[in-house]
Amino acid sequence: MKISIVTLSFNQAAWLERALRSVVEQDHDDIEYIVVDPGSTDGSRDIIERYRDRIAVYIDTPDEGPADGLNKGFAAATGDIFAYLNADDALLPGALSDVVAAFGRYPDADILVGHGFIVDGAGKVSRHFRSASYAPWRFAYGAAVVMQQSTFFRAAAFRKTGGFNKANRTSWDAELYMDMALAGAHIRIVDAEWSIFTIHEDSITGSNRLAEETDRDIARFFRTVIGREMRPADRLLFPVARLLRWVGDPAGLLIRLTDRLFGPPKKTFR
């Protein structure tokens, strides 16, 4: 089973080599690695050149933003399974072999979502990241938490959508998963840790610089799924949906409580 991985790179040289190595050093033997860099000026392109012999496709032309760059990357992909990895994130060792085995166990699944770790800019684990059961209504009410770095989807499911929304600058991945689910994709959570997600001061999540735009996107997603504008009463359902999330995942709740009471695992990923 061929897996096509797209890495989106733009001026993140501090983490890029970790991302590249996390893919090319996987033990799965059928990986199509695609790297998209629309014009880094921080030395990223020199790093990419060092791994060029293990990169199947390198797209170095300007694009209209992250979602557009990903669309270009997946347009070149020929694998059975797709995934993407930001330049400041990384796969865990053995992740892709485990993903292929999981697709074998769950042949009816179009999208598999695993768990992982949140790390800081130095690669130190801050806490576990626990993905939650996905359904469009759960997503609309803020309770369908998906770890993008640990999400893998069949090429056919991706192609049923229009790809990533180029106008979305905050959560193009979340919108894609919503679109795939609304198109009938079957999403399954796999109890395995497949990746790390880096939150640092320059990242969208860490900087919170697009907070207002994020709120607009959340309202737009709600309209798409529920079919109407969000009402004041809907706000009361957000905590209820989140409570149901943890009730349905007692193991995840225990992990979350353990992180808070005793601290996260003492691991650093470099």
Residue type, 201: E
pLDDT at residue 25 in the model? 98
* Axis-axis angle for helices 250-262, 232-247 (nearest 10): 90
Q: Mean of the pLDDT values across residues 238-267?
A: 93
pLDDT at residue 203 in the model? 58
178-209 pLDDT per residue, tens: 999 999 999 999 999 999 999 987 655 555 66
pLDDT at residue 209 in the model? 63
Helix, strand, or coil (residue 153): strand
Helix, strand, or coil (residue 52): helix
User: Which residues share a beta bridge with 128?
Assistant: 117
Contact 188, 99 (CB under 8 A): no
Written as six digits, the tokens of 233 are 């009463």
Residue 75 has pLDDT above 90, yes or no: yes
135-186 pLDDT per residue, tens: 999 999 999 999 999 999 999 999 999 999 999 999 999 999 999 999 999 9
103-142 pLDDT per residue, tens: 999 999 999 999 999 999 999 999 999 999 999 999 999 9
Report the CATH number of the 3-262 domain.
3.90.550.10
Q: For the chain, give every domain's residue range.
A: 3-262
User: How many CB atoms within 10 Å of residue 257?
Assistant: 11
The three-point CA angle 20-170-177 to 5° equals: 75
Residue type, 254: L
7-42 pLDDT per residue, tens: 999 999 999 999 999 999 999 999 999 999 999 999
Residue 210 has pLDDT above 80, yes or no: no
Task: Name the percent of the chain lying above pLDDT 70.
Answer: 97
